[in-house]
Amino acid sequence: MPERTGPRAGRFLVLAAVFVCAACGLVYELELVALASSLTGDPVTQASVVLSVMVFAMGVGSLLAKRLRCRAAVGFGLLEAVLALAGGCSALLLYGAFAWLGGTRHALVGVSLLLGVLIGAEMPLLMTLMQRVSRCARQDAGGAVADLFAADYVGALVGGLAFPFLLLPWLGQLTTALATGAVNALAGGALVLWLFHRDLTGGERLLLWSVNAAVLAVLAGAAVLADDFERAARHAVYGAHARVAVRTHGQEVVLTGPPDGPPDLYVDGRLRVRGGDPRRHHPALVHPAMRGRHARVLVLGGGDGLAVREVLRYADVESVTVVGPDPMVVRLARTDPALARLNGHAFGDRRVRVVPAEPFHWLRTARGGTPYDVVVSDLPPPAGGAGATPYSLEFYGLAARHLAAGGRLAVHAGPLPERPRAYWTVEASLRAAGFTTRPYTVAAPAGGGAASGHAEGAAPTTVRAGAGPAAGADAGGGYDRGFVLAVPGDPRRTRPPALGVAAGVDGGGVPSAAALEAGARRMERSRPRAQPPSTLTRPRYGP
C-alpha cells in the first residue's frame, strides 16, 4: 500500500478520520434539529423530519458510493470537502430561509437529504480504505469492520455530547456548524493527502488541495461575516426596530421598538410581549385569580414582569415568587428602560423573589414551604415536545400541591382562533388533574394596540426590511386570548370559580366582571363534547 507510515500507524489514522467524521456528522444532525426546533417551536416534528430523511438519504448515499470505490482515496477527499461545505453552511441556509423566505420546511428537507447522502457515502469509501490498510497490517476483514464501527460509534458519542455542552454554549448555532465543517474538511483532506498521496495523480492532488483550500476559505469568510448575516436576517424578520439581541442558553432574545416607545419582546422568534397592547393579556390572566385571599402568589414563567406588575397592584400582597424565567429575559426586564417602564419596575420590588429554575422540576422538588393562595401560569403557549410539559396533567397535579385551601390557579392557554383544540386540551388536562375550571376569553378590539402582527407566542411572519413588525399578517386585526381559572376539587361536586375583580382595582385594562362573564358564556357555547387530557407520555399539542 502506498503510504508514508507503517501499517499500524496507517490503520490508526484511518480510524481517527472515522472518529472525526462521525462526530462531525452527528453535530450536523443535531444542529439542524436544534435550529429548526428553535425557529418553529416544535422539536418533536423537526427531530422526526431530520432523522428520518437523513437515515433514508444515508442509504441512498451508500448505494451511490459504489461507483467511487475504484478511486476511493480521491473520492473520499472530494466527498469530505463537499460535506464540510454543505454541513458548515447548513445553519446559515436554514436561518436564511426562515428570515427571507418565511419558512424552513423545504430548506430543512433539502439540507437533510443532501447531508444524508454525503454522510451515507462516507462509510463504503472508508471501508475500502480500511481494507487496504488492514491487508498491509494483516488484519482480518471482520476485525477491520469491528474497528471501523467502534471508531464511528465513539465519534458519534463525542460529537453528540460536545454539541449541547461545549459547542452550542460557546459558539452559538451558526459558528458551531461552520467550525464543524472546517474540522471535517481538515480531517478528510489530511487523511487522503498524507496517507494515500501515492494513490493520487498530480492533477488529483492539485484538485484536492484547491478544493479544500476553497472550502476552508469559504467557511472562514462565513465565520467572519456570521454576525453581519445574523443582523441582516434579524432585520428581515423583525423589521428595522430590532435594538437588543442576546443569545443565552441556546435561546435568542430580541427586543424591538424605539427606546422611548412600547417594546415587543421575542424569544426564539416567538412573540412574548406585545408592548403596544400591554393592558389586556396580563390583567385578564391575573385579576380574576386575585379575587380572594392573595397574600402569597406564585408566578410560573413571567420573565417579562408584566404578570408580576398586575399582582403588585394589590397592596396586601406579601410575597411573589417567580419561577422559571430565563435570567437574560429577567435582566432585560430589569435594565432596559422601555421594558422596565412597561412592567412598572416590578422586579425592583422587595416582595418579589426570582427563582431561575425549570417550573416542572421546581414544582416537583420544592418542599416544606407555605402554600400559595394564587398560582399564575404565564408560560409560552403549548407546543409539541418539551413545550407540552407545562400544560400536562402531571404539571397541574404538581401545581395543586402548592395551592393553599381555597387557592386559585390561572392559566394562559394561548390564542383561541389559531389553536382552539390546544385550548380545550389545556382545560381537559386541568380537569383530569382534579381541578374545577372556568374557561373564559377576552377579545382585543380590531386594530387595538397591535404593535406586532402576530398573536402572542407565534413565530413572526417575515416582513420587508424597514417595514417594521406591524407589517405582518394580523396587523390591525382583532384576536382573542384564552384563559382558564381553576380551583382544586372534583368537577362533578365543586362549584366553578366565579369570575370578577377585587373591589378597588379598576382601570389600566382591568376587565369588568360583565366582560369576563360574557367571555365565559362564549367559551361554554364553543366547548367540544369531549377532549382527552395531555400527559407526559401522550402529549396532545401538535404543530
- Binding-site positions for spermidine read 282, 304
Cα 417–Cα 418–Cα 421 angle in degrees, nearest 5: 90
Beta strands in 257-402 (DSSP E): 264-267, 270-274, 296-301, 319-323, 352-355, 372-378
Residue 508's closest CA among 206, 197, 282? 282
Query: Using an 8 Å Cβ cutoff, are 387 and 543 in contact?
Result: no
Chain position carrying cell 397592547: 277
Measured in residues, the chain has a length of 543
DSSP string, 67-106: GGGGGHHHHHHHHHHHHHHHHHHHHHHHHHIIIIIS--HH
Give the three cell numbers for residue 129. 480504505
Residue 286's closest CA among 370, 373, 394? 373
Radius of gyration of the chain (CA): 28
Query: How many Å apart are CA 32 and CA 231, to the nearest integer?
Result: 20
Q: Which residues are annotated as a binding site for S-methyl-5'-thioadenosine?
A: 251
Give the three cell numbers for residue 298. 406564585
Half-sphere exposure of 237 (CA within 13 A, CB side): 30
DSSP string, 334-357: HH-HHHHHHTTTGGGSTTEEEE-S
Query: Using an 8 Å Cβ cutoff, are 452 and 469 in contact?
Result: yes
Residue type, 469: P
Chain position carrying cell 432585520: 235
Q: How remote is the C-alpha of 69 from its chain's centroid?
A: 41
Catalytic residue among 326, 378, 474, 480: 378
DSSP string, 126-171: HHHHHHHHHHHHT--HHHHHHHHHHHHHHHHHHHHHHIIIIIHHHH
Q: Is 277 a catalytic residue?
A: no
Residue type, 506: D
Edge-to-edge strands, sheet with 242-248: 242-248, 251-256, 264-267, 270-274
Q: Write out the catalytic residue numbers.
A: 378
